[in-house]
Structures are given as structure tokens and as C-alpha cells.
Amino acid sequence: MSDIAGELARVREAFDKPTLRLLDRKWAPFVLAVFKSSFSRERRSVPCELLHTQVDAYLADLRSTGIDAPEKTGRALCVQWMNDLWLYRELRDAGDDGGGQANVEHYSLTSHALEALLLVDGLASSRALISESRLATIVDTVRHRATEANPDREERVRRLDRQIDELTSERDRLAGGGDIAPASNEQMHEGYANLIDLIQQLPSDFKRVEESVAAMHRQIVNDFRGEERPISEVLDDYLAKTDALMSSTAEGRAFEGAFTLLRNDELMQGLKADLETILLHPFALELSLNERRSFMSTVTLLRKGIDDVLTQRKGLTTTLREHIVNHDVVKDRELEHVLRDINRELATWMQTAGPRSTVTVELMPGTLEVEHLRERFYDPVAHRGPPALADVSDAAPAGPSLGDLRQQGGPLLEELRDALVTAFAAGEAASVGSAFNGFDASLRRPVEILGLLQLAAQLSASNGPSGLESFETVRPDGTVRLFDLPHRTLTDDDTAALAAQNLGSEHE
């Protein structure tokens, strides 16, 4: 029988992975275009609300030009992409990629989305990668691995001697003034394309290691919640998985190699210098600014990828430590089992619940049938008298006099009536304002203006010329303030009425 059934099963399994599911969808070009426009090597994460707004803007731009686009909002599409394992949502602090405030949710691309973007970029590239540079890299790698794999001591020595002879011969030739064959632009482009192809695979490799650690984190948390295994067994499993992750997978080996590289400062400085040397070749003039900047950020890419993996590992280690420290060995308490069951059920419910799903629960338990429950116990301190107040009467300031109090009070109506009657009877006042301005300072307070208005309201209407006149008032602290009031004169009837009011108040 042919192997077509087995091959079909393997192909179907590959198509079930998120990477090929992304490429097989109707809106795959739109999704990849959004990922390409919103994320980059320097911008590895985007705040959730910002990405929702960006996707809405992309949809509006496409629809305005007549291009078919999904009939959903940016938020709905991002949630769908997250459920399809193309986006990953996490809580980040200020200073992380994308910046923003502390404790803000960010989206980042998963390894599946990065692989899909890498595949599309490779298919869209116009430069063939089957070149002298690619073949030379393969031959050098095979030679190096064959030397390490060969257990024959003499054969390994012969290989090393041959390499030493070749390098020594080339060095002597250059030291003797031999010509240096310059690399052509075509050769440098081929080598550059080979390097870029290898560098572009690093983000997805690091992301797969990060996702493996995150999956391990979720599994260990579920084991702790379930309490189906002892803590020591869970820890042994964690250590075994950590060793396997870093040694048995291609992503783990890439991580270990990059971590070793970063610990060697001399090697890192050499790598940075070599990158700069490559860009000094004339072929680099044909590269765009973004391509040169991306090529020079290779060291930063390595550091950022390792930092992300170490952050995941730190979170996993923190979970283990907190559980070991806070774990209560008394497992037969009913409350502990109830709370753990609730936590386990909540985790199961969250796997299928939507972002706005709710569950109706009682906030408080039912009341107990208790006749009386003491709310407060006897405290002798509550019946103790307060301490005696200190006698500070010697430091008390002198009390205000009756005159000072009256200066802070309302208008002096009787004194105002007497002063007005006296001024107009002597013929010294042409108007109420001129009379007021001639009073003693004690009768020219600003509040006396209100007294004058009250007195004017009790008299007959004025028949004199209309207009305003200035009243100069004096506050108790000596400051002067001017007020403009209607011009008013007093007739004989008015002065008689004011005098009669004062006489009436004296007889009461």
C-alpha cells in the first residue's frame, strides 16, 4: 500500500497548526498586513486600546478606497486573533515595549504569527537565497559539525592542521603584500540576504521558547490548584522540563547559544564591529534606512529576546516560591478545599467565558439563627475620665473692648441720623455724600453705606438732580475705600423725619 494516507494525516496535522490556519483564511492578507504595519523588531508589543484604534483606522482606509475588508470592529478582530493564537495579551509595566502607563495590557505576536510573516516575506523576496553565501555557510557548518562528531583523534588533528595551514598561508600572503580581492556588490548582497534570513528567524525562535515557558507556567499552576500531586513531584517535573526545554529543542538550544554569546562581552563587541564593517561596504548604499537600522539592531534583538524569556522564567520561579512559602500543610480544613474548588472551577470557566460574561453569586452567606451576639467587650479605658486641661489663662490675650466690637458690627443708625440732621441744619452739607465725607472716621465705615441706603428708603423720593457721587469710607484698620452712590439731598421734611425717628427711639 502507498503511504498517501500517512502523508495526508501529517499534512492535515500541519494545516491544523495556527501558522497554516492563518495563511489559509480568507482575510489572511489583511491580517498579515495589519501585523506587518503594527509590529516591528523595535515595536514588539502594542497597547490593546491603541491596536484596536489602529485596526479600525486600517478598516476605514480600505473601505474608503473600495477594497473589501472584514465587517467587524478592531476590538472584535483582535479578540478573534487572540483566540486563534496569533496574538498574545499580557500585562506590562511602564518602560516595556510600547511604553505607556504602568499595568497596561499589551498585544504581542505569537510565534505562529511571526512564522507566517517570515514565510510571506520569504515568498515576496525577489532575491534567491540559493547562492554562494548560503552554500558556503552550509559547507562550513557541515565541516565544523563533522569535526566535532568524528571520534577519531588523528582525523580531527588532520582537519585542524589543514585549517591552520590554509589560514597561515593566507596570512603570509597578505603580510607579504598580496592583493586583497574586493567583494563585489552582488556577493555582499547574497551574504547580506543570507544573514537577514537567519536573523529574521530569531524572533520566532525566542517567542517559541517564551511560549514554552508560559505553557509550563500554566501547567504548574494547574497542578498546584488541583493538588493531585505532592509539591516535591511538581518541582521535580519543573526542573526536568526546564532542562529538556533548554537542551532537547531547537529553540532552547538557540536560546542557550545566544545566552552564551551575551555573556561574552568581547564576542559581543566583535559582533557589533563586524556588523558595522559590513555596512561600510559600498553595497550598503543600495539598502534603505530601515534595512540598515534593522541590520544594526541584531545585538539588541538578541538581548530583547533573552530578556523576554528570562522574564517568563522569573515569573514561573516566583509562582513556585510563593506557593511553597504560603502553602498550608493543614489540608483537611473545609474552607481551604472550598476555596480551591472555586478557584479551579473559575479557571475552567475562564477558558470559554467571554470578556463580559458574568456569574450570579451571593455576596454574603445566609444569616445564622443566633439570639444575641456580643458586639463589644468591656474596656475599662472607655470609663476613665479625660485628663485635666492645662491652665493657659495667663497666656490668653486681652479681650476686645465694647468699642472694638461695635466697630466690627452693623451700621450705627442713630448716630448716622444725628450726624445727618446736624450737618444739614447747620447748612454745611450740599448733599448726603458731602455730609458723609465730613463725618468722623468712626461713622464712615463701609457698612455705614448700608445704613444710609436704609435711611434713604424710609424718606420721600428725591427731586434733586440725578447722578452719582463719591462716598469715602474708612475701614476699622484705617484703609480707605470709595463707593459711588446716587446723588441725594435732604429737605427740611427729611431732616425733621430723621430727628423724629431718633426722638421716638429715645422715648421707647
Residue-wise pLDDT for 163-219, tens only, equals 888 888 888 888 888 777 777 777 777 777 777 777 777 777 777 777 777 777 677
Q: Is the dihedral of CA 65, 67, 72, 76 positive or negative?
A: negative
When pLDDT is cut at 50, 70 and 90, the band that residue 22 belongs to is confident
| Model confidence pLDDT, tens digit, residues 255-274 | 666 666 667 777 777 777 88
Written as nine digits, the cell of 465 is 438732580
Domain contains 348: no
Q: Regarding predicted confidence, which is higher, 168 or 404?
A: 168
When pLDDT is cut at 50, 70 and 90, the band that residue 508 belongs to is very low
Residues 333 and 443 in one domain: no
pTM assigned to the model:
0.43
Written as nine digits, the cell of 184 is 563585489
Q: Regarding predicted confidence, which is higher, 284 or 225?
A: 284
Residues 431 and 290 in one domain: no
Contact 87, 108 (CB under 8 A): yes
Domain contains 138: yes
Written as nine digits, the cell of 23 is 495563511
Q: Phi and psi of 486, rounded to 5°?
A: -60, 140
Domain contains 355: no
Q: Which long-range contacts (CB under 8 A, 24 or more apart) does 395-404 make?
A: none
Residues 82 and 10 in one domain: yes
480 pairs with which residues across the strands? 474
Domain contains 422: yes
Residues 197 and 298 in one domain: yes
Residue 373 carries which side chain, given as an amino acid letter?
L
Written as nine digits, the cell of 318 is 516566583
When pLDDT is cut at 50, 70 and 90, the band that residue 472 belongs to is very high
Domain encompassing residue 66: 4-112
- Residue 400: partners with Cβ closer than 8 Å, 6 or more residues away: none
Residues 198 and 91 in one domain: no
Contact 15, 24 (CB under 8 A): yes
Query: Is residue 507's pLDDT more than 50?
Result: no
Contact 238, 320 (CB under 8 A): yes
When pLDDT is cut at 50, 70 and 90, the band that residue 424 belongs to is confident
- Give the residue ranges of DSSP H helices in 84-184: 111-124, 132-149, 153-175
Domain contains 403: no
Q: Regarding predicted confidence, which is higher, 303 or 60?
A: 60
Residues 95 and 226 in one domain: no
Task: Print the SS3 string covering 312-379.
Answer: HHHHHHHHHHHHHHHCCCCCCCHHHHHHHHHHHHHHHHHCCCCCCCCCCCCCCCCCCCCCCCCCCCCC
Domain boundary pick from 302, 321, 343: 343
When pLDDT is cut at 50, 70 and 90, the band that residue 371 belongs to is confident
Measure the CA–CA gap between 272 and 445, rounded to whole angstroms: 85
Residues 143 and 282 in one domain: yes
Lowest mean pLDDT segment, chosen from 82-86, 183-187, 399-403: 183-187
Domain boundary pick from 318, 343, 368: 343
Q: Is the dihedral of CA 155, 160, 165, 166 positive or negative?
A: positive
Q: Dump strand ranges (E) for 3-86.
A: 45-47
Q: Which of 257, 370, 418, 241 is nearest to 316 (CA)?
A: 241
Residues 95 and 141 in one domain: no
Query: Is residue 102's pLDDT more than 60?
Result: no
**Residue 332: predicted pLDDT:** 46
Q: Which of 414, 404, 413, 432 is nearest to 490 (CA)?
A: 432
Q: Which of 341, 460, 471, 375 is nearest to 416 (CA)?
A: 471
When pLDDT is cut at 50, 70 and 90, the band that residue 100 belongs to is very low
Measure the CA–CA gap between 139 and 162, rounded to whole angstroms: 16
Domain contains 454: yes
Residues 107 and 142 in one domain: no
Q: Which residues of 289-317 are buried (b: 16+ CB within 10 A; e: fewer)?
A: eeeeebbebbeebbebbbebbeebbeebe
Task: Please tell me the total count of domains within the chain.
Answer: 3
Mean confidence (pLDDT) of the chain: 77
Domain contains 174: no
Residues 138 and 93 in one domain: no
Domain contains 358: no
Measure the CA–CA gap between 109 and 491, rounded to whole angstroms: 95
Domain boundary pick from 112, 140, 159: 112
Residues 451 and 484 in one domain: yes
Written as nine digits, the cell of 80 is 478573534
Measure the CA–CA gap between 291 and 293, rounded to whole angstroms: 5
Task: Print the SS3 string covering 217-284.
Answer: HHHHHHHHHHCCCCHHHHHHHHHHHHHHHHHCCHHHHHHHHHHHHHHCHHHHHHHHHHHHHHHCCHHH
Contact 69, 63 (CB under 8 A): yes
Written as nine digits, the cell of 14 is 500541519
- Residue 471: partners with Cβ closer than 8 Å, 6 or more residues away: 433, 436, 437, 449, 452, 482, 483, 484, 485
Residue 451 carries which side chain, given as an amino acid letter?
G
CATH number at 29 reads 1.10.10
Give the CA dihedral 62, 63, 69, 73, nearest 10 degrees.
100
Residues 62 and 144 in one domain: no
